[in-house]
Amino acid sequence: MGHAAHDAHVGHEMHAAHGAQAGHAAHAAHDPNVFRRQFWIVLLLTLPVIAWSGEVQAWLGYRAPAFIGSEWIPPVLGTAVFLYGGRVFLLGARDELSQRRPGMMTLIGLAILVAFVASWAATLGLFSVDVWWELASLITVMSLGHWIEMRSIMQAQGALSALSDLLPDTAERLTDGGAERIPLGAVGIGDLLLIRPGARVPADGEVVAGDAELDESMITGESRPVAKEPGARVIAGTVALGGSLRIRVTAVGEQTALSGIMRLVAEAQASRSHAQLLADRAAALLFFVALGAGVVTLGVWVAIGKPEEALIRTATVLVIACPHALGLAIPLVIAISTTLGAQHGLLVRDRMALERARDVDLVIFDKTGTLTRGTPVIAGVSAAPGTEETALLALAASVEADSEHPLARAIARAADDRGIQVPMATGFQARAGVGARAMVDRRDVQVGGPRLLADAGLGVPESLRTATDGWARDGRTVLYIIADGRLLGALAAEDEIRGEAREAVDRLHGMGVRVAMLTGDARAVADSVARRIGIDEVAAEILPADKAAAVRQLQAGGARVAMVGDGVNDAPALAQAEVGIAIGAGTDVAVESAGIILVRDDPRDVAAAIELSRAAYRKMAQNLVWATAYNAVAIPIAAGVLAPMGVILPMSVGAVVMSASTIIVAVNAQLLRGLRL
């Protein structure tokens, strides 16, 4: 229907590669410039048609210069306008009909065909009134309307093409022979590139030397420059500020994060959504309403003995009822909201997820790495009598040497900072959500949380109690070290709470959303963190495998849940929630389990995502209500219901009204850009 045409524009101007829908013949012409040229040519042809129209002359009381054949000006130029300007609408109609999806183009096509046939009939003396000037001005206005419409669709996608403009045309490659300037396409993986101050990074890579601050705002939405030193990753499209870098290229072209983001945005924009399906159905319905109204109009006017008026009224009804606005309402909002999100570091993988986000009434945060920094540090060591603190740390570091867990790394760092000699361990085993185990100097050593202690059937002796209780109260994670079944001591790991966490929770509460926290950490620690951030509900000591079940339990109360996690070990929980949000995924758009990806590590972006969803929904609803109300009022007037009171809508005015209603929808969608996230 109407939308099909528009979707195709949305789809195709944006990413010609995804051209499944773009192959459409009628839409191949849907380039704003084509419509602009068509509009001016058609306008030039239409002016004489109007000037020499008998009806207009009678109204305005003037006589157009008469010469031999001057009475043929309206039919000849009118036919030219019909054939040249009406062509795209007729082709569109043919397309729609051949796909059995009659819509906007079919209605316009039918309307101009009716007017064209009626006018020739009049010119050949079969009718008294011709509508040449109305037909010509109708096509002119339609061309103008299409031009403006195409332009606003292009603008909606402007941000996306702006993303592709981020890449420089050339790069500066460093070889043994010095620096050389090469075209972007010649950059290969492993190349060493020089990035001068103020230059754009041409490919993804790793900093080898130099240090500079990078403006990454165009990719992550982060407005503050990010300092980069050797070892740091850089993203193609970002800008070096006040410093130069040497980078080793790790990804080029399609493999870069920028390409991934563009692909994601394009896919999200092209993907179907519930609102879109609703608009589709409304547009389909409207086609038959329009056709029905046209038939009734024709019948009634013929019945009261006014066949000429019948044809004009019918054509006007068909023009007025074009589900243009309806077809544009949803795709435009989708295009604008996904690009707006991408500009603010909210990547939408699944449109439905963004759409559902507006109904979310409970947000569950994973604690570690989401509400906290995720890089804990060892803040306390307490050894049981008979054990040295240094020896304790050495054992723990030895067990954890092979582990990737953030807590393991904190232990390794602590041992390293204190210059402790760490013995080599063998037979390392990790137990998710519990701890780690290995053989050190022929001793069976385990490191882990309260679960580990419970599994080993051990209690915390009085000598350690004061320290561990105090740590837990302060929100520190307590880890126990057990060797050959004996508790040797405990460590406290402190994971700094993100400054933005509190604000994120407050904002969500302000939006009427409950906030919960899910963690594998001990109850006391979880409660302490939750209290400081202002979170109401806590699920603690949850094994990674049980996180999805915990989400299900929270959903059981009827809550519509958004789960926010890191997207790697929280994948099942993200998938279980109505809306899965991966946080701090950076530019890794491959987080499959999440519907929305937050590029930044900022929990406040969760509130922003919900706000975006709500705002987009409001816009769609407004547009649909507007488009429906417009039709309900305009169709009867076009049909001539008010004719007894002397109110008759000329066909060209009908076209103006129709175009205006479409432009209002487009402008309203554009207002979404003003949203502050």
Smallest gap from Cβ 575 to Mg ion, in A, equals 15
Q: Does 380 bind ligand ADP (CB under 6 A)?
A: no
| CB contact at 8 A, 507 and 468 | no
| Residue owning tokens 């979880």 | 526
- Tokens read off for 523: 């109850």
623 binding partner (options ligand ADP, Mg ion, none; Cβ < 5 to 8 Å by kind): none
Stretch that binds ligand ADP, among 366-374, 507-515, 587-595, 620-628 (CB under 6 A): 366-374
**Bridge pairing between strands 362-366 and 514-518:** parallel
Q: How many residues bind ligand ADP (CB under 6 A)?
A: 22
Q: Which is nearer to ligand ADP, 214 or 550 (CB)?
A: 550
Smallest gap from Cβ 267 to Mg ion, in A, equals 28
Q: Does 652 bind Mg ion (CB under 5 A)?
A: no
Beta bridge partners of 193: 173, 247
Q: Which of 220, 238, 368, 652 touches Mg ion (CB under 5 A)?
A: 368
**Contact code string over 448-487 relative to ligand ADP, x by CB under 6 A:** xx---------------------------x-x--------
Subset of 389-428 contacting ligand ADP (CB under 6 A): 400, 403, 405, 407-408
CA 245: distance to chain centroid? 32
Smallest gap from Cβ 515 to Mg ion, in A, equals 17
CA distance 310 to 127: 12
Smallest gap from Cβ 450 to ligand ADP, in A, equals 7
CA distance 22 to 13: 8
Q: Which is nearer to ligand ADP, 330 or 383 (CB)?
A: 383
Which of 218, 104, 107, 229 minimizes the C-alpha distance to 161? 218
First to last CA, the chain: 34
| Residue owning tokens 């209605």 | 107
Which of the 8 DSSP states describes residue 424? P
Q: Which is nearer to ligand ADP, 112 or 472 (CB)?
A: 472
Q: Does 601 bind ligand ADP (CB under 6 A)?
A: no
| CB contact at 8 A, 294 and 317 | yes
477 binding partner (options ligand ADP, Mg ion, none; Cβ < 5 to 8 Å by kind): ligand ADP
| CB contact at 8 A, 226 and 213 | yes
405 binding partner (options ligand ADP, Mg ion, none; Cβ < 5 to 8 Å by kind): ligand ADP
Q: Catalytic amino acids?
A: 366
Q: Which is nearer to ligand ADP, 7 or 366 (CB)?
A: 366
Smallest gap from Cβ 570 to Mg ion, in A, equals 6
Q: Where are the alpha helices (DSSP H) in 25-177?
A: 25-28, 32-51, 54-60, 73-85, 87-98, 104-123, 132-156, 158-164
CA dihedral 392, 393, 394, 399 (to 10 degrees): 100
Subset of 509-538 contacting ligand ADP (CB under 6 A): 519-521
Which of 258, 145, 238, 161 minimizes the C-alpha distance to 661? 145
Q: Which of 108, 354, 436, 562 touches ligand ADP (CB under 6 A)?
A: 436
Q: Does 445 bind ligand ADP (CB under 6 A)?
A: no
Q: Does 370 bind Mg ion (CB under 5 A)?
A: no
CA distance 468 to 496: 18
Subset of 540-569 contacting ligand ADP (CB under 6 A): 544
Smallest gap from Cβ 483 to ligand ADP, in A, equals 15
CA distance 361 to 554: 11
Smallest gap from Cβ 559 to ligand ADP, in A, equals 20
CA distance 295 to 286: 14
Q: Which is nearer to Mg ion, 563 or 609 (CB)?
A: 563
Which of the 8 DSSP states describes residue 373? -
Positions touching ligand ADP (CB under 6 A) are 366-368, 400, 403, 405, 407-408, 430, 433-436, 447-449, 477, 479, 519-521, 544
Positions touching Mg ion (CB under 5 A) are 368
